[in-house]
Amino acid sequence: MNIIVTGASRGIGYELAKLFAADPKNKVVAISRNRLKLEHLKRECRGGAVFPAVVDFSNKDFKRDITLQVLSHISTVDILINNAAVLVNKPFEDMVAAEVENMFRVNVTSQFEFLQALLPYMGKGQVPTHIVNISSMGGLQGSMKFPGLSAYSASKAALATLTECLAEEFKDKNISVNCLMLGAVQTEMFEEAFPGERTEMTPLLMAAYIRDFALTGANFFNGKIIPVSKSTP
């Protein structure tokens, strides 16, 4: 299968790319803006077909990088994991416009443009292309909210609604779109946002769940917003 994983330089994305690459039938395009970490990922995967692609979703010209790098390795897309995100933990009154705009740029707007660029290469196989958008429990209506995450949670809520809309638009294109709303995972991003906090969920455990869902979830779900957390919203 041809698989794209964004945000692959660390945390869940890193582990997810390794899991997909363990299957010799897969080609995995691992996307991040950090070239060194992508090269380390490729070395860790040893014989796995991992193709690093340096793409910065905060750059408004990133579509050019997709054409030059991503589509030079694969001609169709079977699975896309939209995992790239940025998070700033800061009180609402202290947030500045540039921080809010960058979070929405990376977490939402770039997803529009990324999918527009890839759409001609999706839905070409015997089974539907499966797009899995990685959101957060913070973006789920009715879930517990945390101070300092207003812009981040709002951007993740937007990604969830985008999922429902795209599933409707793509239903006749052999493309399924689902959204996983993740609870806390002990990633670098979590540790940067919440210094000293601990959670029992590891990046590898969550990556294994996402891999399995990406491979089989399109058989059961389309346009679904699925909480992935032990806690009650």
Q: What are the residue ranges spanned by the domains of the chain? A: 2-228
How does pLDDT run across 37-76, given as a tens digit for each residue?
A: 999 999 999 877 999 999 999 988 888 888 788 989 999 9
pLDDT score, position 231: 73
Position 126 scores a pLDDT of 81
Span 124-138, pLDDT tens digits: 988 899 999 999 999
Q: Order of strands, edge to edge, in the sheet holding 129-136?
A: 50-54, 27-32, 2-6, 79-82, 129-136, 175-182, 225-228
Provide, rounded to the nearest whole percent, the portion of the chain with pLDDT above 70.
99
CATH architecture of 2-228: 3-Layer(aba) Sandwich (3.40)
Distance CA 117, CA 66 (A): 8
Residue 96's contacts (CB-CB under 8 Å, 6 or more residues apart) are none
Whether the CB-CB separation of 152 and 106 falls below 8 Å is answered with no
Handedness of CA 48, 53, 56, 57 (dihedral sign): negative
**pTM, to two decimals:** 0.95
Q: pLDDT band for position 233 (50/70/90)?
A: low
Is 152 among the residues known to form the active site? yes
Q: Which of 14, 121, 152, 209 is catalytic?
A: 152
pLDDT of residue 62: 86
pLDDT in tens, 79-136: 999 999 999 999 999 999 999 999 999 999 999 999 999 999 999 988 899 999 999 9
Task: For the chain, give the mean pLDDT.
Answer: 93
